[in-house]
Amino acid sequence: MRVVLGWDIGGANIKLTVIRCRGDAILDVKVFTEYFPIWKRGREKLPYKLKSMVERVGSARPDLVAITMTAELSDIYFSKREGVTHVIDSVEEAMPTLDLRFLDVHGRLLTPDEARKRPLEVAAANWYASGWLASKLSDTCLLVDTGSTSTSIVPVVEGKVAAKGLNDLEKLMVGELVYTGALRTNVAAIVSHVPVRGVSTPVSSEFFAQSGDIHLLLGHITAEDYTVDTPDGRGVSMVEAAARVARVVCADLDLLSMEEVKTIASYVYEAQLGQILEALERLTNNLKVDLRTSPAYVAGVGGEFIAGKALKMFGFRDVKPLSWFIGSEAAKTVPSYALALMAAEFLEGRELRNWRLS
């Protein structure tokens, strides 16, 4: 039996997938996600967090550990180079005796020394793993992964990941990255005005409410799905979420009714869909290939109610949740799962035959 780990080390969440396989058959898949806002917890604690998650894997020694990261974008680091180097150092400290490989934007699995020499090619390469997974489902398709913080849009054309952007800046420019997510996006980053009693009302630029409050109020997520810190440090009840949204227009629940707050939430949701639509238009123009007649796969905590809804509004007819093929837990952590699968196939030298559910 072989054991492979796939890590997606983000600035807010750390995701780990464990695949156990024998020959070309998967025996078991386990997924772990832990909220770890590195700018709050401290960069020096990252190795200990990684080590504690490894201990949950069990006694079996992993044969290969594959890592991708987005934590380097955190402003706890002065530069991406500094962030990538620290993450590599932290992984080595947490798993000093294991075979470590870091994914780059070309789909290569690099040794730690190779990764240190190419920090900008290792930074934020997690989208490649997601696109690689999508290419195993359809030769030409689109994958849209809406997580807690951002949305990654990965085109696949003729069996190859066809992304134009190779870093976050380029991806923002060509429509392959949208900084809007299902939980952590500041409402003031989605809208500048909201309707209040028929009046288009400016919003405060303070961090009073976030997208998790919007989607909780609209029934898109449950309190259990709201896994990140709230802006005011309070709980995730409907009333507490409504109070945060009311505060966006400098009000409270004495000034606004629950119905009025939900009207604001609906408007913010539509605006968030508009952000995805704008990116899809930008991507289509830059790619010069219209993928609307091809399958689209959605994933992440906001996969169905944000990504899926926007894709259908844009004209995609064949939109499927990735969870149909890899299960609901793996679909919430696509880069981690995809990277573990990639590493397992790298180790075995062949495709694993039972990786998909249907």
Q: What is the pLDDT at residue 288? A: 85
Kindly state the average pLDDT of the residues 305-329: 98
- 357 pLDDT band (50/70/90 cuts)? confident
Q: What is the pLDDT at residue 165? A: 98
Express each pLDDT in 229-287 by its tens digit: 999 999 999 999 999 999 999 999 999 999 999 999 999 999 999 999 999 999 999 99
Express each pLDDT in 10-46 by its tens digit: 999 999 999 999 989 999 999 999 999 999 999 999 9
Model confidence at 57: pLDDT above 90: no
Q: What is the pLDDT at residue 255? A: 99
Kindly state the average pLDDT of the residues 334-351: 95
Q: Hey, which residues does 3 pair with through a beta bridge? A: 20
Of the chain, the percentage scoring pLDDT greater than 90 comes to 94
Distance separating alpha carbons of residues 25 and 181, to the nearest angstrom:
35
Assigned architecture for domain 2-136+334-348: 2-Layer Sandwich (3.30)
Of the chain, the percentage scoring pLDDT greater than 70 comes to 100
Name the average pLDDT for the chain: 97
How much is the pTM? 0.95
In terms of Cα–Cα distance, which of 86, 69, 101 is closest to 168? 69
The vertex-20 CA angle with 19 and 25, nearest 5°, equals: 105
Kindly state the average pLDDT of the residues 103-128: 98
Model confidence at 169: pLDDT above 90: yes
Q: Hey, which residues does 141 pair with through a beta bridge? A: 156
In terms of Cα–Cα distance, which of 97, 101, 74, 99 is closest to 86? 74
**Every domain of the chain and the residues it spans:** 2-136+334-348
Model confidence at 60: pLDDT above 90: no
Express each pLDDT in 68-102 by its tens digit: 999 999 999 999 999 999 999 999 999 999 999 99
- 143 pLDDT band (50/70/90 cuts)? very high
Model confidence at 358: pLDDT above 90: no
